[in-house]
Amino acid sequence: MATAAEKSKEKTKAKQRYLRRKKERRKHRPKTLAASGDVTESNDASDEGGEASPSQDEDLEKPAVQQVVIETGEDTTKRPKKRKKTANEELEDVEMVAVENISRQLDESTKLLEPHPPPDALPSFPLPALPDAPSKSALALQGLDKALVDAEIVDPTIVLPIPDGEDDDGTMLSERTRKRLKDVGITELFAVQTRLLPFLLPRDPFQKALYQPYDPPRDVCVSAPTGSGKTLAYVLPIIEILSSRIVTRLRALIVLPTRDLVTQVRETFEALGKGRGLQIGTATGQQSFAHEQSQLVADKSSQLKGGSSRIDVLICTPGRLMDHLHGTPNFSLQHLRFLVIDEADRLLAQSFQDWLAQVLAATRPPPRALSEQTSEHKNLSLPIADAVAPAFLHTLPYPVVPTFPTESRDSSCQKLLFSATLTRDPGKIASLELRNPKYFVVQESKKEGVLDVVMERFSMPSTLTERMIVCESSQKPLIFFHLVHAHNVTNALLFTKSAESTTRLVRLFDFFEKARAQHAMAGAVQEIVVRAYSSDLPANERKAILEKFKAQEIQILVCSDLISRGIDISHVSHVVSYDVPVDMRKYVHRVGRTARAGRAGDAWTLVEEQEARYFKGILREADHLDKVKRLRVGEKELAPLIPDYETALGQLKEAYAR
Ligand SMILES: Nc1ncnc2c1ncn2[C@@H]1O[C@H](COP(=O)(O)OP(=O)(O)OP(=O)(O)O)[C@@H](O)[C@H]1O
């Protein structure tokens, strides 16, 4: 109520000020009105009086009304009749309210502006300023796994000779394995192997045990350039540790993105594990499911808690692994001592049936409380021809023997991740559920270590020479033919962007080689054989082509990025990117098919003029632009090839028209 009274008081004040001003004006006006005798004007005057509310302002209004009445000569005893407001009057009402509002606001703001007494000491604040933008590298390191930040950087030039005799000289390899390595022509360990072997094969025999449920091993992530020997870095420790086993169980699982890689890694296991009694199996879907099942498990008839296995090592693709995990009775991953994910970044990008989460779940023991509550414990039926891993013992239908209260048994599975382009994605790394991981990054010391991995500045083999040839799109085939002949290329892989452009190029090259042979004197030129190698070909045909290429019966393989990862063909001297790769990872894996294991190699990229900016951008981003020099091919050099090239083009046109 008090506030209402205050409000009305304020209102009255404003109104009074307004009316006072009006009165002032009026003091002068009646005389003028009287002189003119204008009745309408007088009405105006009375109208003005009508602006005030009759109850409040009657006294103030009266003189004006009386004055008008005198002048018009009407009866003064009669009170003037109350009239209806005209439109003008209503307008003035609105004006009045507006004036009231404004004056009220003015009053309030003057109160605010009134000077306050200054405080004793004024606080001082820094002037507002924009903070410095964090550097790109600082941003890249944000949110990263601490283990990745603390990665061990390994110098790629380090080698460790493999000694004969009893002393392993720090290689940690048994005499038997060292002898086997020598037999296959390996006399020293490469950088990545010199660090990985002591880590995975420490002197402590407990750490080499098949099961380590109370002190499970640390997981490992490795980033090392293409062709630097990552495969042996996991094959050798697996052979060394599993060779001590007595019963065959599935103890090592190696997951790879393609069938070709599965075959390749199997060959490495077989070559180095020869005579060690380890059973190696593969699952890629190339054989029937039933056939694969019979090779993987020994007993399909009963439900064994410990699983059943015919093999010690399984090398597979993720899709087929899922099929066996769901559809093969007694196929169990509980005994795994090693889970290797090679080409890890590529496999982590494949969410196929959520394969990783399912594999990890299969290696983990189920929660204790859950299995202890199951009814199985109540109906004991001994004995059971079964053997479960130590971490899974509580799943057996026997009463749990209480041990030390804090005792917990963990899976002994050690995860090993490898790639030349290891992922930096924290989300993907988290999905691996790594246990106290240790990172190894193989790269030159002048680089920035883990920051390079994080910023996708991948290391390349030091023996690789890279060139780019910027040209018009229509000139690409001719330039490729020129490069092949000018540089005597006899072992090259050529990458295109699509199967269609592969087929076209192979045919054109065939016609060109034939025209060239016809031109030259008989026997003067050696025809170069080019073949397409794509995922469309049946598996056995692909295998046959690869064999011919390895035997150098085929000189150039034109392929898609299917082959760009991991494939190890030692004699590839040149890699040609006929179409620019879509990103730096693809580029790294393509060019990495040459310059392997310390050999020299050349990589050429044909860049169409309109793509040059984009391609250079990719290289610049990876801090690699200065490594890829420009190679210029002039008209003069191409001129001698033009007649045969035109003949070949004509024949290709005809072939497509048919
Ligand atoms: N210590 C060694 N001495 C000699 N040759 C070796 C040694 N280690 C590996 N190699 C050979 O080097 C080649 C490349 O090895 P590997 O295929 O393991 O490379 P990678 O690092 O896995 O490459 P990518 O990333 O392309 O898959 C193979 O032919 C392999 O036999």
Give 573 Cα–ligand 1 centroid separation in angstroms. Answer: 16
Helix, strand, coil % over all residues of the chain, rounded to 5: 50, 10, 40
38-42, 240-244, 600-604: the lowest-pLDDT one: 38-42
Share above pLDDT 70 across residues of the chain, in percent, rounded to a whole number: 77
Q: Could you tell me the strand order of the sheet in which 574-577 lies?
A: 530-533, 556-559, 492-495, 574-577, 601-608, 464-471, 628-630
Helix segments in 332-391, DSSP class H: 344-349, 355-363, 368-373
- Calpha distance 391→409 (Å, rounded): 5
Q: What is the DSSP letter of 252?
A: E
pLDDT at res. 632:
94
- Give 308 or 124, the one with higher predicted confidence: 308
Kind plus residue range of the DSSP H or E element containing 189: strand 188-189
SS3 575: strand
- The response to whether residue 592 sits with its C-beta less than 6 Å from ligand 1 reads yes
Q: Which of 228, 238, 267, 493 to mutate to test the pocket of ligand 1 (most atoms within 8 A of CB)?
A: 228
Is the Cβ–Cβ distance between 420 and 226 less than 8 Å? yes
Q: How far is the CA of 93 from the centre of ligand 1 (A)?
A: 95
pLDDT exceeds cutoff 60 at 192? yes
- Count CB neighbours of 449 within 10 A: 14
Q: Does residue 226's CB lie within 6 angstroms of at least one atom of ligand 1?
A: yes
Whole-number pLDDT of residue 404: 60
Question: Looking at the whole model, is its pTM more than 0.90?
Answer: no
pLDDT at 7: 55
pLDDT single digits (tens) 481-493: 999 999 989 899 9
Query: Could you tell me where the DSSP H helices lie in 132-190?
Result: 136-141, 146-149, 175-183
How far is the C-alpha of 289 from the C-alpha of 327, rounded, in Å?
Answer: 9
Q: Is 258 helix (H, G, I), strand (E, B) or coil?
A: coil
Distance of CA 230 from the midpoint of ligand 1 (Å): 6
What is this model's ipTM? Answer: 0.99
Segment 491-508 mean pLDDT:
90
Q: Is residue 40 scored above 60 in pLDDT?
A: no
Query: Measured from the CB, is residue 594 less than 6 Å from ligand 1?
Result: no
Can you give the pLDDT at residue 74? 41
Better-scored residue on pLDDT, 383 or 131:
131
User: How do residues 329-350 score in pLDDT, each as one tens digit?
Assistant: 999 999 999 999 999 988 988 7
* Residue 190 in contact with ligand 1 by CB distance below 6 A: yes
- Identify the residue with better confidence: 517 or 479: 479
CA of 190 to the centre of ligand 1 (A): 9
Q: 466-495 as b/e, with b when 16 or more CB fall inside 10 Å?
A: bebbbbeeebbbbbbbbbbbeeebebbbbb
From 173, 188, 223, 231, give the residue whose CB has the most ligand 1 atoms within 8 Å, as the site to mutate.
231
Quick one: pLDDT at residue 570?
81
Rg of the chain taking only CA atoms, in angstroms: 44
Q: Whose CA is nearest to atom 4 of ligand 1?
A: 186
Which is the closest atom of ligand 1 to the Cα of 268? 31
Between helix 39-50 and helix 2-36 the angle, nearest 10°, is: 170
Residues whose CB is less than 8 angstroms from the CB of residue 510 and which lie 6 or more positions away in sequence, other chains included: 530
Number of H helices, E strands in the chain: 24, 17
Q: For a pocket test of ligand 1, which of 177, 193, 230, 593 has the largest count of ligand atoms closer than 8 A to its C-beta? A: 230
300: region left, alpha or beta (phi > 0 left; psi from -120 to 50 alpha): alpha
Query: 282 with 315: CB under 8 angstroms?
Result: yes
Q: Are 534 and 546 in contact (CB under 8 A)?
A: no
Whether 244 is in the pocket of ligand 1, judged by its Cβ within 6 Å, is no
Is residue 226 predicted with pLDDT exceeding 60? yes
Output the pLDDT for position 645: 94
Q: Whose CA is nearest to atom 22 of ligand 1?
A: 230
Ligand 1 in contact with 232 (CB < 6 A)? Answer: yes
389-438 confidence digits (pLDDT tens): 777 777 766 666 666 655 677 889 999 999 999 887 778 888 899 999 99
Q: Choose between 535 and 357: higher pLDDT.
A: 357
Burial (CB count <10 Å: 0-12, 13-18, 19+), residue 535: middle
Mean pLDDT of the 53-74 span: 38
Q: Determine the average pLDDT of the residues in 456-485.
A: 93
The DSSP code for 115 is P
From the CA of 596, how far away is ligand 1's center (Å)?
7
Residue that has been written with the tokens 């093999």 in this structure: 311
For the chain, list the domains and their CATH numbers. Answer: 4-76 (no CATH), 137-376+386-453 (3.40.50.300), 460-657 (3.40.50.300)
Weakest mean pLDDT among 193-207, 315-329, 445-459:
445-459
Q: Is 211 exposed, middle or buried (0-12, 13-18, 19+ CB in 10 A)?
A: middle
pLDDT-based confidence at 34, cuts 50/70/90? very low
Phi-psi region of 354 (alpha: psi -120 to 50; beta: other; left: phi over 0): left
What is the mean predicted confidence (pLDDT) over 12-39? 68
- Between the CA of residue 390 and those of 183, 245, 359, 500, what are the distances in Å? 38, 15, 19, 54
Report pLDDT for 98: 67
Residue nearest to ligand 1 atom 27, measured at CA: 566
